[in-house]
Structure 1
Amino acid sequence: MDVTYRCFELDPTAERDIQDNMYEKLAKKYGMTIEQAKANTQNMVRMARNAGLEFNIDTIVLTNTFDAHRLTMFAKTKGLMKEMTERLLRAYFTDSMHIGDPATLAQLAEEVGLNREEAEQMLAGNAFADEVRADEQLAQQYRITGVPFFLINKKYALNGAKPIEMIVQALQKIIAEDEITVLNDSDSMICDDDGCEILKK
């Protein structure tokens, strides 16, 4: 199975430096109290913990992630998109790093095996901006409004954080439904470059 990561910004209008913490941001966005915002994140934290991940919501540094997405596209050209994506996610959710800061991004790029100077030069310009926007336009075409979102074989969708067992069950169902079904059980004729032959049952 080939997995392709796509770019998606929850808030493309976000500034690079944001003073609000995650709870304040959620409270303002959804019209809730800080306590309600904290309670609403606990399920995500529990699911992450069950998957062996550590989410430190209290200390997440909110930022604009466009340059981080450009960095993943740069990493893709070097065969390191998976590694770069995973490092960025850990930097954000676990390490509480500022992934909108170019110096931080260059450091993370170096950690996964990219050339730091090349990454710095790329981040200083507008390289890979079009690729990021193209992914975001594709998300709009599929009416994707949040993450996580899994699109399988371009026709099956799983959205939202799901338990691993549920994802496995969905994949098994998709595989079963996607198997080729022979509709006729009589003698069949198969043709290729060498001609045709009748297959007997």
Structure 2
Amino acid sequence: MKVEIWSDFACPFCYIGKHHFEIGLEQFEHKEKVEVVYRSFQLDPYAKKNTGMDIHQVLSAKHGIPYEKAKEMNNQLKQYAKKAGLDYQLDTMIPTNSYDALRLSYYAKENGKIKEYMDRIMKAHFTDSLDIGDPATLAQLASELGLNANETLDVLASDKYSENLAADKAEGTDMGIQGVPFFVVDNKYTMSGAQSPQVFSETLQQIWKEDYVNDNAKEQLEPSLDHYCSDGTCKF
């Protein structure tokens, strides 16, 4: 069974969704048969680096809402993350463009460190208040995972993996993805949003039962699980 997870480091629901999925996967009795593939879907290619703004200001400007309203919304998000077991430090988080961090994920994948990379970059962004748009910071984080810091800087100084990022975005768009996180199982079943661990576990079990155990029931299962969808997505 293959599960593809489409996400963007700039999306706070992607970290929560990934965390929930991993908990649900641990509860799935056939977890050793599941291949997890990380795919990139950058939501805002025009996001700026070095804005000098906090995330509340960015949200306020983007949606035309008062600063205090934006801060209230982010505080609600922080509590949502806390319930998931994640520590979001949104007051000190550094808003930036996720392009380089996403490009570097393909380098991490080539070197067998993609899961560790996804974990570290998300934690760096939402918990550690590090600038994941800064090449030196990304090189340091990569080196923590055993990746070569100089090679990392060479990748970031070039346009390497930009085609991979564009291809993932194009494929996701063709599939109709408008928000992340977005989960695709075996190229036909889909889930969107930061679902609960139980939903992920039960969904994997349902697909396993229908496609891997009961062959006669394959045609009875609709190639979509959108009834599980919620608002826990970052929109395109």
Fold-level match, TM-score > 0.5? yes
CA distance in 2, matches of 1:126, 1:152: 30
CA distance in 1, matches of 2:137, 2:152: 11
**What is the one-letter code of the residue matched to 1:181?**
D
What is aligned with 1:190? Answer: none
What is aligned with 1:139? Answer: 172
1:126-146 residue CA offsets vs partner (Å, 9 max, x unmatched): 111111111111111122122
Three-state SS of the structure 2 residue aligned to 1:120 is: helix
What do you get for the CA RMSD once the two structures are aligned? Answer: 1.7
Structure showing greater Rg: 1
CA distance in 2, matches of 1:34, 1:63: 19
Matched, 1:88 2:118: no
Unaligned runs of 5+ in 2: 1-33, 218-236
What is aligned with 1:116? Answer: 149
Matched, 1:149 2:160: no
**What is the one-letter code of the residue matched to 2:200?**
I
Identity level (%): 39
Unaligned runs of 5+ in 1: 184-201
CA distance in 1, matches of 2:64, 2:210: 42
Q: 1:105 aligns with which of 135, 138, 158?
A: 138
Query: Relative to 1, partners in 2 of residues 1:107 and 1:34: Cα closer, same or farther, differing over 3 Å?
Result: same
- Moved segments of 4+, more than 4 Å: none
Q: CA deviation at 1:44?
A: 3.1
**What is the one-letter code of the residue matched to 1:24?**
Q
What is aligned with 2:163? Answer: 130
1:47–1:163 Cα contact (<8 Å) kept = no
CA distance in 1, matches of 2:81, 2:184: 21
Three-state SS of the structure 2 residue aligned to 1:3 is: strand
Q: Which residues in structure 2 correspond to 1:39-50 (within 5 Å)?
A: 39-50=72-83
Q: CA deviation at 1:91?
A: 0.5
Three-state SS of the structure 1 residue aligned to 2:160 is: coil
CA distance in 2, matches of 1:59, 1:3: 31
Give the length in aligned residue pairs.
183
Query: Relative to 1, partners in 2 of residues 1:168 and 1:147: Cα closer, same or farther, differing over 3 Å?
Result: same
CA distance in 2, matches of 1:44, 1:129: 31
CA distance in 2, matches of 1:182, 1:160: 30
Q: TM-score, normalised by structure 2?
A: 0.72
Q: CA deviation at 1:63?
A: 0.8
1:117-158 residue CA offsets vs partner (Å, 9 max, x unmatched): 111111111111111111111111122122221111112222
What is aligned with 2:42? Answer: 9
1:59-101 residue CA offsets vs partner (Å, 9 max, x unmatched): 1111111111111111111111111111110100000100010
CA distance in 2, matches of 1:114, 1:177: 40
Query: Relative to 1, partners in 2 of residues 1:42 and 1:147: Cα closer, same or farther, differing over 3 Å?
Result: farther
CA distance in 2, matches of 1:175, 1:5: 21
CA distance in 2, matches of 1:38, 1:144: 28
Matched, 1:181 2:199: no
Q: TM-score, normalised by structure 1?
A: 0.84
